[in-house]
Amino acid sequence: MKPVVIVAIAASAMAGVVAWRALRPHGKSAAPHEFVLFDRSASSTAGCDAVIAAVSDDVLEGRLSPDSVLVVLATGDADTSGEPTEIFRGTPVRPGRVMGGRRGAQKQQEAMLSRLTESCRELPPADISPIALGMRDGLEGLRAQGCGPESRCRLRVISDGEETVEPWIVQSLSGKRTAPAARPRMDNGGVEIVFCGTSQTKGASDRARDRRRAHDVGRVERMRKTWRSTVTAPDLMHFEAHCQAGHLLVASEARP
């Protein structure tokens, strides 16, 4: 092959690499990332076991890569003005990336779950449920990691869905009509949102009657419709009545 042809091929390949790097978010990988939002309000009964199970699934099922970021947020309370609190941040552990192979990776996984368990169980129940604020921060955090249409990022929301802070969501959940202008939407383009635990609830508080409002089929459907109306890509939002409790063996072994 002539030198001129070789140079031309090399230049073309280099240009392709430069273009690829230019299109990628600076300093961020195309790895899938995951945020978990834990609703610690008194009405939701899913609890820390659901959080640990969700993180265990992410660690063990292999959906995330060693370059992925895994973050757990807890919904806020009066002391944080409703803003969520980050209680855990880590990366999945793979046997080929640590000393000791599979056994070494398992020890690191157990240590990670133990740290999460301790942080979660230290949280007191909150008397408010600012789910929308937590979702906003979770989506912004995923965007900051470079999540986009092809990144397969996900936001898990462990909650009964009973918002108590955002006025228009509270009204919509109660069956009251709200003006379209009062419904700001969060950008979840390319980010899957999974609610789990919508049936694991004590029910929203009905202060006027001093009791909990019972769920019925109409309220369940209204809840799904309401939350889908809060985002720009409602087809990427899914609901599970109960949070999965799989892969809890490692988590239970890690508990003090």
pLDDT in tens, 163-208: 999 999 999 998 888 777 678 899 999 999 999 999 888 865 444 3
- In the chain, the percentage of residues whose pLDDT exceeds 90 is 47
Phi, psi of 196 (to 5 degrees): -135, 145
Burial of 15 (0-12, 13-18, 19+ CB in 10 A): exposed
Stretch 72-88: mean pLDDT, rounded?
95
- Report the range of poorest mean pLDDT among 11-15, 196-200, 219-223, 227-231: 11-15
- The highest-confidence range among 4-8, 112-116, 164-168, by mean pLDDT, is 164-168
Each residue of 193-226: b (16+ CB within 10 Å) or e? bbbbbbbbbeebbeeeeeeeeebeeebeeebbeb
Q: Say whether pLDDT at 27 is over 60.
A: no
Burial of 148 (0-12, 13-18, 19+ CB in 10 A): middle
Q: pLDDT confidence of 9, banded at 50, 70, 90? A: very low
Q: Say whether pLDDT at 209 is over 60.
A: no
* List of residues 6+ apart from 177 with CB closer than 8 A: 171
**Confidence (pLDDT) at 60:** 64
Q: Say whether pLDDT at 10 is over 90.
A: no
Distance CA 187, CA 83 (A): 18
- Where helices occur in the chain by DSSP H, the ranges are 3-23, 47-60, 101-121, 131-144, 167-173, 217-228, 248-254
The residues spanned by each domain of the chain are 34-254
**Confidence (pLDDT) at 97:** 55
Distance CA 220, CA 158 (A): 16
Q: Which of 247, 195, 196 is nearest to 52 (CA)?
A: 247
Q: Is the domain covering 34-254 a CATH 1.10.150 domain?
A: no
3-class state of residue 211 by DSSP: strand
**Confidence (pLDDT) at 194:** 96
**Do the bridges between strand 153-158 and strand 34-38 make them parallel or antiparallel, or are there none, so unpaired?**
parallel
Distance CA 120, CA 39 (A): 11
Stretch 99-115: mean pLDDT, rounded?
75
**Confidence (pLDDT) at 109:** 78
Burial of 250 (0-12, 13-18, 19+ CB in 10 A): middle
Q: Which amino acid is at 175?
A: G
Burial of 180 (0-12, 13-18, 19+ CB in 10 A): exposed
Q: pLDDT confidence of 101, banded at 50, 70, 90? A: low
Distance CA 130, CA 41 (A): 9
